[in-house]
Structure 1
């Protein structure tokens, strides 16, 4: 049922934006941004539930908490970067959106270095010398 609410909100906002856009483009942009934020916040509870399940599975599998935390941070960076880039594109600033995406990719690489290091070390231990 939640998807119907999300899509309904999106369709109503889209209709209002189309009506308002010619008279007050700034308000249309603000409405689009607020709608996106409302949708994002409404899903925050679902995201928290997913994180709890993943933490529980990681404990059962004896996975290092550092790895799970890092992966969750990487996923968060990806979602926030995508949201920011989309809002910026909606404002007609494609070049700034591209810079936001580039920054997100760089931050993801920085966050992934500890995991990549462990993977390389593990492969080096497995390979015969």
Structure 2
């Protein structure tokens, strides 16, 4: 993934959106399309990151595979929430964007609870 190309694409897309700003529907569609292209480009590089994480968790770390699943789900929640709230903000719906962020934080906490339970169990074992 070449971040310079992605950033240049984002800047050009933003300038194009400002150019057609008098027609909000075209600007919104352009923003959605550019965001989708950037998201897909970033998602394509995730396979290498996931392979490295598997190596860290399983080969070197010897940890429970559930932890990696929780981490990947949390990462996905963060990306999707950020993407959705950004689109809401661009559409002028800041309240909806904030509610989306709140829902994302709640979902993140919910999937992290098993990890927290495990951590509390380890601390209890160490203290006894």
So what's the TM-score if we normalise by structure 2?
A: 0.94
Which residue number corresponds to residue 82 of structure 2?
82
Give ranges in structure 2 of 5+ residues lacking alignment: none
Which residue number corresponds to residue 11 of structure 2?
11
Give ranges in structure 1 of 5+ residues lacking alignment: none
Deviation at 1:43, TM superposition (A): 1.2
Deviation at 1:58, TM superposition (A): 1.2
Instruction: Please show how residues 88-127 of structure 1 align to structure 2 within 5 Å.
Output: 88-127=88-127
Which residue number corresponds to residue 63 of structure 1?
63
Which residue number corresponds to residue 29 of structure 2?
30
So what's the TM-score if we normalise by structure 1?
A: 0.93
Aligned length: 127
SS of residue paired to 1:21: coil
Q: Write the distance in 2 (CA, Å) between the matches of 1:122 and 1:11.
A: 48
Deviation at 1:124, TM superposition (A): 0.5
Q: Map Cα deviations across residues 57-104 of structure 1 (whole Å, 9 max, x no partner).
A: 211121100111111101110111011101110000001111111110
After the TM superposition, list the runs of 4 or more consecutive aligned residues in structure 1 that deviate by more than 2 angstroms.
Answer: none
Residues 1:41 and 2:29 are matched in the alignment: no
Q: Write the distance in 2 (CA, Å) between the matches of 1:115 and 1:121.
A: 10
User: Is 110-119 or 38-47 further displaced after alignment?
Assistant: 38-47
Which residue number corresponds to residue 51 of structure 1?
50
> How large is the RMSD of aligned CA atoms in angstroms?
1.2
Q: Map Cα deviations across residues 12-45 of structure 1 (whole Å, 9 max, x no partner).
A: 21121111111x2100011011111100101112
